[in-house]
Amino acid sequence: MGFVIVIGAVIISMAVAMYMYYQYQPNYLTANAGEPVIVGPVEYTILLEGTHDGNKEKKPDNTFVKIRINAKNISDEKVRISGGQFYLIDEKKQKHQPVYGPFSPEDLLDDWLEPNKPVSWTTQFDVPYDEHKQFSLTIKPLKPQSTLDVANICLMNC
């Protein structure tokens, strides 16, 4: 009888663990550049703006790939957005974090989104650029955004 109780407890605990595991798995969303995608309380539209070689103060090791981030808070409360949410993924599946600098007044570092007010920023990534390579952008939500959504946006050659 004790053996049956132990086996039953093991099976129940495994069932609860599997339920919790699947409950908290990220929800991966995909889109192409220019298409809107909703990650938590924010609707994003990402565009590839091109490349540049930096400025007098900041030069890239390779090439700066510049993106435009159009965002709209679709909730009723202010939402924080940060440049650290965005990762450029190259065809070797390497993650590249944004590079911050005084490139333009639109450069995203950290900001708050007001409800239902669209805004637009830019950011850049220092990558070995080739127009024939594949590049995508991953958007991960900030912890206060309370979502399991993760977006992957094809920027070119996907």
The 10s digit of each residue's pLDDT in 99-151 is 987 788 888 888 999 999 999 999 999 999 998 999 999 999 988 887 889 99
Q: Is residue 133 part of a domain?
A: yes
Q: Tell me if 83 is assigned to some domain.
A: yes
| Angstrom distance (rounded) from CA 53 to CA 81 | 26
What is the identity of the amino acid at 23? Q
- What's the CATH code of the domain at 82? 2.60.40.1240
In this prediction, what percent of the chain has a pLDDT beyond 70?
Answer: 100
Indicate the number of domains in the chain.
1
Per the domain annotation, does 82 fall within a domain?
yes
Is residue 9 in some structural domain? no
Within a domain: 22: no
Sequence-separated (6 or more) residues with CB below 8 Å from residue 60: 53, 54, 99, 126
Give domain status of residue 20, yes or no: no
Max Cα–Cα distance, the chain, nearest Å? 78
pTM: 0.81
Asked whether residue 39 is domain-assigned, the answer is yes
Whether 12 maps to a domain, the answer reads: no
Question: What number is the average pLDDT over the span 14-33?
Answer: 91
Which residue segment(s) compose the domain that 37 sits in? 28-156
